[in-house]
Structure formats: structure tokens, C-alpha cells
């Protein structure tokens, strides 16, 4: 027993001897479609016989099934380069040194995948001359392959201006990372990966056929710099394989599939606070006894689109949709019909354009090869329009799928095995090219000035969020009217500007819905510009000078004014001087408006509520309050602001407590208000000050009932603002 233990302990220390190359084993790996292992075996065999065309053919064929398409082309070119082919090819004959005539078909495929459609056409034409049997299987597939080559030439000749960027190594690993999707605000990316878990807990959770780790659910937060943070494993993973499939626009409902890929079912879970509820399976109208693969949901959460190979379809996998009924169940599944589905497979549906565009991948239609990305418009009645290839380089000669659109934008994420990526499959962030013929959304505005008139020279500048796109228009000084034509499918920050000074700004969404082509907006323009800093003054010298002047004046008017009147005048002058030189927070104040007589004026306490999962304060949430503060400053002089932030008692999943959350909200609100008032030209301590900054945790004690009492808890997620001048 001691000897056995000793051997068990020392055996890992020594390198295991490399197994010798085995021709039969290499063929068996091809039959089992274990391509990566097969590549290793054929490389060993080729090292012994580097001139064996059959070995080059077998290795090239295996490499085509991996991401090494360029290496595959080199080996297949070598296999066919002599122009000689085996007449009686036996794939199991170890003495065979020539490749079969089928190698030309694999060569053409490799040329096509490497972006050489003209070379692929030549290889297909040569193959035609070599095959004598008109019923040969390779000839039956060739017309379709030649069509794809011609489509590839057409698409590559006129590429679209799609922007495609790898999301980075914080998300992409050496394994398969796929199906990235994000809610409307692009703050979080959910994705699937078959990587090894950081804690090694999936060491034994492998697919028995491929020996790869089972798929897991991950997420990543986008930082303030726009970069994605490290991938985090979701708590709702199981041991049977989990994949993200869809998410609602607000990010509060996540759809996943669980189980083996050929027998998976769809589940739904809700975000309560910062926790996901346990996944609940969808109904029988969606989850059938056949295979379902991918899913997407409309931005309003009322329609799901999914892929299935259930009977009575048009061929392969088809795309279906089901609508949410009044009882909360999904209705009968509807095949989208022949405008979308073909005799080939259609997969990976996704909904963009604010619910008005269906994206999907297809092996049919006018594909460049493999699966291409297509789009179809959805009208107000739900009818699907004609299908259009989104074009190169988003569609390529290889398989392109798992495109997930972000609802109200032209952004999305796609999965690809592009050369140069981090692993077997990588996730890429996409900004779709604009259609130059699309109708603009007209923003009609009306400026209302709080001064007597609107200044001349006012302009409006609209900047698209996450996009290098600007639209500018002048304002009619007489009427205050303006009009901007905004390209749709984008969020804009609109700034009212006088030269380089921003007088006001607001956010607006130019949606993709053709039924919403006009937006009207009314905004106030405060009569305030950035004031230059006051000159530094020697307060002692200034005071002495004024006192001397006052004394001299008092002497001259001694005959007209009695001593009590002179003293009163002097005290009044000093009081006025002290008011002009008040100090707040160590700063010398600018001249401020004297408070008019009478009672103070207040801005009543107003609450700005948060929904679960939203923790930061945005200016657009409090813009009206800031404008009211500015008006109060102009009317009443220095204004005092109170901030109170609240959090509910639903526990948080990260290290921060609810006390810290409410304090963070209060601090954020204070920072946003200070920044905006400073932009308007107001100085803290001179024109306004924060009188009270407070926070707390309030409401019902948590009883593990967040789902049932969500509305009750959300009442205590707010920032309350008030002011007095």
C-alpha cells in the first residue's frame, strides 16, 4: 500500500511520454468530429512524412473546422498543388500518399473562407472537369456554393461602414465566449462561456462528447471609462449547461436556456434588488419536445422570438414568435413565414430599432457563405417585411451569428471566431452603419427666456451618445423656435449654446419607429453666463479708505445732519460692505443679490425615485429642480439646499451595505447639483450652499418577499430635494 501511495504522489512530477502518431486513431478522431485532437494527430503524422499529400489533405480538412482557416488553406493548397489525385482513394489506407479529388472541394471552401471568392470559383470549376458522374454529391451542392461566392464578391466590393471592436480580454478568454447581450443603457454585458471557473468548481462538469467545460452564465460591468470590467459568474448557474438568450430593455428580466444544446429549455428570471430569482421554465407553447436554441424579447416585453426545429416548418431551424397573454402565459407559437424562414436554417433572432427591426442569422437568402446576418422591418401591426443582408464586414464568408441588438440604438454584440481573437469564439461590440436614405426624426423646439428677450446668436448642438455624430441648428431670436433633423436610432444630448457657453441641455431619443418622426420640446434659457472671477482686493486698505471718505462726508454735512443721522449712515455703509465681502467655505464671495423684504421662498420637497438595479443619480432626473434653484437664486439671493437619500431594506448582494448605498445616492445628488449650478455660473458659498445632506434606510423590514412586495420596497428608494431662499 505504501508503494502505491508513493507512486501516486510522484507520478505527476515526471512528464508523460508523448503518444506516437497513429493513423487509425487520427481517422477515428475525424469520425467522432473531435477536430482539435485530430489536428494534433495529423500534425504528428505529417512531421514524419512532410511530402504526403493525403496527410496535408486530412490536416487541412480538420483545420477548417477550427478557427485556423488560414493554416487550413496552406495545407489544402499543398495537397492539391501537384494536380495529381488518387484514382481509387481509400481513406483508411495508410500507404495512400495522394489526396482524393474531393480535396478540391475543401480547397475551394478554404479559399472562400479566407476571402478569396475568385480563387474558390476557379477551384469549383476545376472540380467540375474532374468529376465524370453527373449525379455526384459534390456537383449537387456546387450551384449553391457558386452563388455564395458571387454574393461574397458583391458584398466585399461595397463594404458597409460597420464598426466592430473586440470587447477585450476582461471578457473574452481562450475558451468559447458567446452571445453577449446588454440592456438599453449598455451598463452591463451578460454572456455565455465554457471557460474554467476561477475557483475550479466546474473541473468535472464537462461535455462527455467534446470534453469541454459546460456553458456558464457570466456578467461584466462597464466602467466610467467605457471599458468592461472583469467577468463575474452569475449565481443562477446550474451543473447542466446554462446560456443567456435574451434580456428586456430595462435589464430586469433575463431569459436563459438550460440543459444540453440538443435538448435545452427556455427559462426566465427576474432581478429583485441585486438578486436574480430562481429560473422558471416557459410554457409548452415555447418549450416543445423538439430542439429550441435561441431567443429574443421585444423592448416592451410582450413578444418573444425563438428558434426551433419543430415539425411543419420550412426547413432546418425556423424562427417563431409568441405573444404574452393577459393571464401571463405565452400564447401559441407562430412561424414567421417564408419572408424570414427558408429551406435552410435560421437562428439567433434579436430585436432592435425600438422593436421595429428583426435581426437573425440564416444559411439561406443571399448569404455570402455559412450563416450571414440579415434584418427585416416590423411594422406597427407586427407584419414582417423583406429580408436584407446587413452586409460585409458584419456578414462574412464564415458563420456569423449570436447578434444581439441593443433596443433603442444601432449598437449590438456579435460572436465570431475571427483570426486574432482571444479564443475559440470571441464577443465583439458592433455599431451598425447608417442607411443614408433613412428619414430623419425632426426635433422641434421652443426656447423660453427668463430675461426680457432671447439673445441673438443662440445655437443648438445635438451630439449622439456613443457615436461620432453631431447636428447643429440656429435659433430664431424673434420666436425662440428651432428645428433639428436627427438621424434615427440614437440618443442625443442637446445643448443650448451662446458662443462656447452652454446655457442649458437636455436628453432626447430619436427612436427607430417610423411612426414617430417628430419630437417637440420646450426648454427655459436662464439669463446667466459664466462670470469672470472678481479682482483681488486689499480689504484693510479698502475699509480705511471708505471710512475716511465717510468721515469727510460727515464733516461737510455736519450743519445739515445731526450726529445720530451721521452714525446711522455710517453703520448702514459698513453693513453693506460686510455683506459684499462675506466668506463661505474659505472663499471670498462675488457680489450677491440682496434679499428682498418679506418671508423666505421655498422649493417644496420633491422625491426622485429609483427602480431596483439603478443606483446612480443622473442630471436629467433632477434637471427641473436645478432650474428652479437657479430661478430662486436670481429672485432671493443666496439659497440653501437640502438633500435626503433613502434606501429600502432589501439586502444587497455585494459588499456595500444599504447605509452606504443611501449615502452614495446623497453624495451623487450633491455632486450633480453642484456641477450643474457651477456650469450656469453660480458659486457655492456665494449664491447657494448645502444646508443639510442626510441619508437613511427606511421602510418595511425585509422578509424574503421582495418579489411579492416589490412596489412596497421601491417606495423607499429615492432622493428628496428641497431649497429655501
Mean pLDDT of 507-514: 75
**153: which DSSP letter?**
H
pLDDT given for residue 224 in this prediction: 75
Query: pLDDT digits over 162-197, tens only?
Result: 989 999 999 999 999 999 999 988 889 999 999 999
User: What residues contact 339, with CB distance under 8 A and at least 6 apart?
Assistant: 376, 384, 385, 386, 387
Return the SS3 of 520: strand
Every domain of the chain with CATH number 2.60.40.10 lies at: 441-525
- Per-residue pLDDT of 8-22, as tens digits, reads 333 333 334 455 678
**Domain covering 602-724 in this structure, CATH number:** 3.30.1330.60
- pLDDT on residue 626: 87
The pLDDT score that the predictor gives to residue 439 is 81
Domain 441-525 coded CATH 1.10.1040.10: no
Q: What is the C-alpha separation between 258 and 215, in angstroms, rounded?
A: 9
How many residues does this entry show for the chain?
725
Task: Give the separation between CA 404 and CA 402, rounded to whole angstroms.
Answer: 6
Q: Quick one: how far is CA 578 from the chain centroid?
A: 55
CATH for 163-431 (3.40.50.300, 2.30.30.90, 1.20.1050.10, 2.115.10.20): 2.115.10.20
Q: Pick the more confident residue, 98 or 707.
A: 98
Name the CATH topology of 18-157.
1.25.40
Read off the pLDDT of residues 259-268 as tens digits, 9 standing for 90 and up. Answer: 887 788 999 9
522 vs 41, more confident:
41
- Give the residue-averaged pLDDT of 87-116: 94
How many CB atoms within 10 Å of residue 124? 24
* CA–CA dist 485, 462 (Å, integer): 10
Task: Report the 10 Å Cβ neighbour count for 31.
Answer: 9
pLDDT in tens, 597-633: 667 888 888 888 876 555 556 656 677 788 888 888 8
Residue partners of 342: CB distance under 8 A and separation at least 6:
314, 315, 362, 363, 364, 365
DSSP state of 140: H
Smallest CA-to-CA distance from 511 within 610, 406, 360 is with 406
Start-end of CATH 3.30.1330.60 domains in the chain: 602-724
Average pLDDT, integer, range 123-141? 89
pLDDT of residue 362: 96
Residue 663: is its pLDDT beyond 90? no
Averaging pLDDT over each range in 62-66, 415-419, 529-533, which range is the top one? 62-66
Radius of gyration (C-alpha) of the chain in whole angstroms: 35
pTM of the model: 0.66
DSSP 27-67: HHHHHTT-HHHHHHHHHHHHHH-TT-HHHHHHHHHHHTTSS
Mean of pLDDT values over 592-601: 65
Indicate whether 529 pLDDT > 50. Answer: no
The burial class, CB within 10 Å (0-12 / 13-18 / 19+), for 326 is exposed
Grid cell listed for 351: 430585436
Q: What is the pLDDT of residue 4?
A: 34
Tens-digit pLDDT profile for residues 277-299: 999 999 899 999 999 989 999 98
Residues 6+ apart with CB under 8 A from 138: 102, 105, 127, 131
Q: Within 13 Å, how many C-alpha atoms sit on residue 21's CB side?
A: 14
Rounded to the nearest 5°, which phi and psi values hold at 175? -95, -165
Would you give the DSSP letter of residue 417?
-
Give the C-alpha distances (Å, rounded to integers) separating 143 from 102, 137, 140, 182, 195. 16, 12, 7, 40, 40
Q: Looking at residue 353, what is its pLDDT?
A: 83
> How many Å apart are CA 192 and CA 256, to the nearest integer?
10
Share of the chain above pLDDT 70, in %: 83
Amino acid at each position: 500500500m505504501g508503494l502505491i501511495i508513493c507512486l501516486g504522489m510522484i507520478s505527476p512530477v515526471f512528464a508523460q511520454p508523448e503518444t506516437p502518431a497513429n493513423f487509425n486513431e487520427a481517422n477515428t478522431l475525424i469520425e467522432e468530429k473531435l477536430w482539435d485532437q485530430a489536428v494534433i494527430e495529423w500534425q504528428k503524422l505529417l512531421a514524419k512524412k512532410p511530402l504526403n499529400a493525403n496527410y496535408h489533405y486530412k490536416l487541412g480538412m480538420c483545420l477548417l473546422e477550427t478557427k485556423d482557416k488560414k493554416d487550413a488553406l496552406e495545407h489544402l493548397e499543398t495537397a492539391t498543388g501537384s494536380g495529381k489525385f488518387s484514382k481509387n482513394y481509400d481513406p483508411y489506407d495508410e500507404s495512400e500518399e495522394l489526396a482524393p479529388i474531393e480535396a478540391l472541394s475543401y480547397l475551394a471552401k478554404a479559399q472562400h473562407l479566407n476571402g478569396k471568392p475568385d480563387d474558390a470559383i476557379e477551384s469549383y470549376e476545376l472540380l467540375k472537369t474532374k468529376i465524370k458522374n453527373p449525379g455526384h454529391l459534390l456537383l449537387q451542392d456546387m450551384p449553391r456554393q457558386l452563388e455564395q461566392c458571387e454574393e461574397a464578391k458583391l458584398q466585399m466590393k461595397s463594404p458597409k461602414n460597420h464598426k466592430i471592436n473586440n470587447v477585450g480580454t476582461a471578457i473574452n478568454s481562450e475558451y468559447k465566449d458567446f452571445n453577449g447581450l446588454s440592456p438599453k443603457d449598455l451598463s452591463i454585458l451578460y454572456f455565455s462561456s465554457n471557460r474554467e471557473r476561477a475557483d475550479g468548481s466546474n473541473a468535472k462538469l464537462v461535455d462527455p462528447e467534446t470534453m469541454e467545460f459546460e456553458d456558464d452564465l457570466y456578467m461584466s460591468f462597464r466602467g466610467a471609462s467605457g471599458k468592461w470590467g472583469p467577468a463575474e459568474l452569475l449565481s443562477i448557474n446550474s451543473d447542466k449547461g446554462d446560456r443567456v438568450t435574451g434580456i428586456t430593455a430595462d435589464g430586469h428580466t433575463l431569459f436563459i436556456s438550460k440543459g444540453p444544446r440538443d435538448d435545452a429549455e427556455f427559462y426566465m428570471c427576474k432581478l429583485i434588488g441585486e438578486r436574480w430569482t430562481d429560473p422558471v421554465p416557459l410554457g409548452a407553447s415555447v418549450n416543445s419536445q423538439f430542439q429550441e436554441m435561441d431567443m429574443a424579447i421585444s423592448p416592451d416585453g410582450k413578444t418573444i422570438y425563438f428558434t426551433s426545429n419543430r415539425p411543419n416548418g420550412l426547413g432546418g431551424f425556423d424562427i417563431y414568435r409568441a405573444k404574452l397573454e393577459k393571464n401571463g402565459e405565452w400564447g401559441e407559437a407562430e412561424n414567421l413565414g417564408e419572408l424570414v424562414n427558408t429551406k435552410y436554417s435560421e437562428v439567433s433572432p434579436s430585436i432592435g430599432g425600438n422593436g421595429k427591426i428583426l435581426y437573425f442569422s440564416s444559411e439561406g437568402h443571399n448569404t455570402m457563405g455559412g450563416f450571414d446576418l440579415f434584418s427585416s422591418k416590423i411594422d406597427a401591426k407586427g407584419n414582417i417585411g423583406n429580408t436584407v443582408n446587413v452586409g460585409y464586414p458584419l456578414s462574412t464568408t464564415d458563420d456569423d451569428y449570436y447578434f444581439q441588438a441593443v433596443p433603442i440604438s444601432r449598437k449590438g454584440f456579435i460572436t465570431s471566431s475571427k483570426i486574432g481573437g482571444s479564443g475559440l469564439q470571441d464577443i465583439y461590440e458592433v455599431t451598425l452603419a447608417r442607411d443614408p436614405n433613412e428619414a430623419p426624426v425632426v426635433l422641434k423646439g421652443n426656447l423660453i427666456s427668463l430675461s426680457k428677450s432671447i439673445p441673438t446668436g443662440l445655437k443648438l448642438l445635438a451630439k449622439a451618445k456613443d457615436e461620432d455624430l453631431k447636428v447643429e441648428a440656429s435659433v430664431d431670436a424673434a420666436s425662440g423656435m428651432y428645428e433639428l433633423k436627427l438621424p434615427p436610432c440614437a440618443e442625443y444630448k442637446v445643448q443650448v449654446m451662446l458662443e462656447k457657453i452652454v446655457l442649458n441641455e437636455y436628453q432626447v431619443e430619436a427612436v427607430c419607429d417610423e411612426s414617430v418622426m417628430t419630437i417637440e420640446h420646450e426648454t427655459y434659457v436662464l439669463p446667466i453666463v459664466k462670470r469672470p472671477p472678481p479682482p483681488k482686493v486689499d480689504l484693510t486698505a479698502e475699509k480705511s479708505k471708505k471710512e475716511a471718505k465717510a468721515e469727510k462726508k460727515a464733516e461737510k454735512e455736519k450743519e445739515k445732519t445731526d450726529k445720530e443721522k451721521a452714525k446711522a449712515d455710517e453703520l448702514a455703509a459698513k453693513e453693506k460692505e460686510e455683506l459684499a465681502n462675506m466668506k463661505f467655505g474659505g472663499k471670498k464671495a462675488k457680489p450677491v443679490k440682496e434679499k428682498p423684504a418679506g418671508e423666505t421662498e421655498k422649493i417644496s420637497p420633491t422625491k426622485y425615485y429609483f427602480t431596483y438595479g439603478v443606483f446612480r443619480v443622473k442630471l436629467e432626473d433632477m434637471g427641473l429642480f436645478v432650474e428652479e434653484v437657479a430661478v430662486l437664486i436670481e429672485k432671493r439671493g443666496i439659497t440653501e439646499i437640502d438633500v435626503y437619500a433613502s434606501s429600502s431594506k432589501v439586502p444587497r448582494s455585494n459588499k456595500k451595505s444599504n447605509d452606504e448605498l443611501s449615502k452614495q445616492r446623497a453624495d451623487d445628488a450633491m455632486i450633480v447639483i453642484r456641477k450643474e449650478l457651477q456650469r450656469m455660473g453660480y458659486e457655492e458659498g456665494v449664491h447657494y450652499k448645502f444646508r443639510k445632506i442626510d441619508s437613511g434606510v427606511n421602510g418595511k423590514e425585509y422578509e424574503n418577499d421582495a418579489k411579492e412586495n416589490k412596489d412596497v420596497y421601491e417606495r423607499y428608494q429615492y432622493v428628496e430635494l428641497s431649497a429655501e431662499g
